[in-house]
Amino acid sequence: MEKETTTTHESSRHEDTILEIKNLHIKYETDDATVYATNGVNIKLRRQSTLGIVGETGAGKTTTVLSLLKLVPDPPGVITDGEIYVNGRNVMEMSTDELQNMRGKEISMIFQDPMTSLNPVMTVGDQIAESILLHEDVDKREAYERAKAVLETVGISGDRAGEYPHQFSGGMKQRVVIAIALACHPNVLIADEPTSALDVTIQAQVLELMRGLKEQYQTSMILITHDLGIVAETCDEVVVMYAGRIVEQGTLQDIFNTTKHPYTEGLFNSLPNVNDRSARLKPIAGLIPDPTVLHTGCAFAERCQYATQACNEAPPEEKWFSDTHMVACTAYSDSSFHIARGRT
């Protein structure tokens, strides 16, 4: 199914789109070089769904989501092209006041490390109440009472609202960060590697909490992670990024059961085989490309076992295998091409 299916894809599946990124190009300009962070990213998020963004460090995942809040540091970050829509409103055209109101009210973000996300000299109750005061028409007393209620929602006694971050464990700190993010019931929740700083046993508790709160508040969510296990447990749809571009996207079933891109195949092959502990890992050969160089062809070609000369000559075009499943890979110009994992 070639590009003609994109008409159906655009018109029918995303009528309930809450967030959309179109042709996003972001670069970081420094005295030494220019880093090309995103190179034509297109993403749509459906209401009440969870979208996972997967890729190695340096793929452009965090830069992409920071752009949704217009938080790409400028300088050195520059958005050179693209449009970003939240609830049909163009973020790129919002005033400073509109952006301030959107952050926390319409979109909230849970950052990777709770140690650096919380103010060490403010009580956790005051930090949650601060967000409520900023976006809601309430006085300080009511904001603080609501802050205590939000703490209860994430499994922390409201009586601890007067305590400071250092009095909480790592997992509890992350619950506080989640409480701050959800205090004003945002439409979209962005979670940037929300459990990577936590012990494995605590990770599962935090992820289960996030899933439950997402359902309770009917929130849409974007989850950035390098952990395909978390994606499998949490996400409805998946975007795979490499060198600032989306190389594959689809439903969870599309990506896990009918993998199409060689890079996605490499990510799965890098996982331990729990059914065969003697099996050797198959890491992706080579290193991620230099982000200061814009590639004429496919950025993954030099690491790809299926690459041909054609892969180096022009950027890969998007090919839709269904209304939900897209891959950007030159090899699929040959209708007989397949990857080992992609066989069905």
CATH of the domain at 76: 3.40.50.300
In a shared domain, residues 297 and 324: yes
Per-residue model confidence as pLDDT tens digits over 64-97: 999 999 999 988 999 999 999 999 999 999 999 9
**38 and 97 co-located in one domain:** yes
Query: 24 and 165: one domain?
Result: no
Which one of 138, 156, 185 terminates a domain?
A: 185
Same domain, 18 and 167: no
- Rounded to whole angstroms, how far apart are CA atoms 331 and 336? 9
Residue 24 lies in a domain: yes
Which residues contact residue 257 at a Cβ distance below 8 angstroms, ignoring those fewer than 6 apart? 344
Per-residue pLDDT at 89: 92
338 found inside a domain: no
Handedness of CA 283, 41, 181, 115 (dihedral sign): positive
Q: Give the whole-angstrom CA distance, residue 201 versus residue 101.
A: 36
Distance between CA 172 and CA 202 in Å, rounded?
A: 9
Phi, psi of 245 (to 5 degrees): -130, 155
Within-domain flag for 342: no
Tell me, what amino acid is at 218? Q
Residues 177 and 286 in one domain: no
Judge contact between 26 and 79, C-beta under 8 A.
yes
Expressed as residue numbers, the domain containing 128 is 115-185
Please check whether residues 91 and 198 belong to one and the same domain. Answer: yes
Same domain for 267 and 154, yes or no, is: no
Angle of CA points 129, 135, 136, to nearest 5°: 80
The last residue of a domain, from among 146, 164, 185: 185
What distance in Å separates the CA atoms of residue 8 and residue 23, rounded to the nearest whole number?
A: 20
Q: What is the pLDDT of residue 344?
A: 45
pLDDT given at position 3: 45
The CB-side HSE value for 146 (13 A sphere, CA atoms) comes to 21
The DSSP bridge pattern shows strands 245-251 and 237-242 to be: antiparallel
Looking at the structure, tell me whether residues 144 and 285 fall in a common domain. Answer: no
- Give me the residues paired with residue 107 across strands: 103, 188
> Is residue 340 in a domain?
no
User: Are 204 and 297 found together in one domain?
Assistant: yes
Could you give the count of Cα atoms lying within 13 Å of 233 in the half-sphere of its Cβ?
15
In a domain, 311, yes or no: yes
CB 175 within 8 A of CB 155: yes
**What's the pLDDT at 127?**
95
**Same structural domain, 102 and 217:** yes
Non-local CB neighbours of 169 within 8 Å, separated by 6+ positions: none
**Residues with pLDDT less than 50, the chain:** 1-14, 344
Q: How far is it, in rounded angstroms, from Cα 231 to Cα 237?
A: 9
277/273 Cα distance (integer angstroms): 6
Cβ neighbours of 112 (radius 10 Å): 18
Residue in the structure block whose two tokens are 């042709």: 23
**Would you say 235 and 64 are in contact if contact means Cβ atoms under 8 Å apart?**
no
Structural domain contains residue 29: yes
Pair 236, 311 in one domain: yes
- In this predicted structure, what is the pLDDT of residue 333? 92
Is there a single domain that holds both residue 179 and residue 193?
A: no
Establish if 339 belongs to a structural domain: no
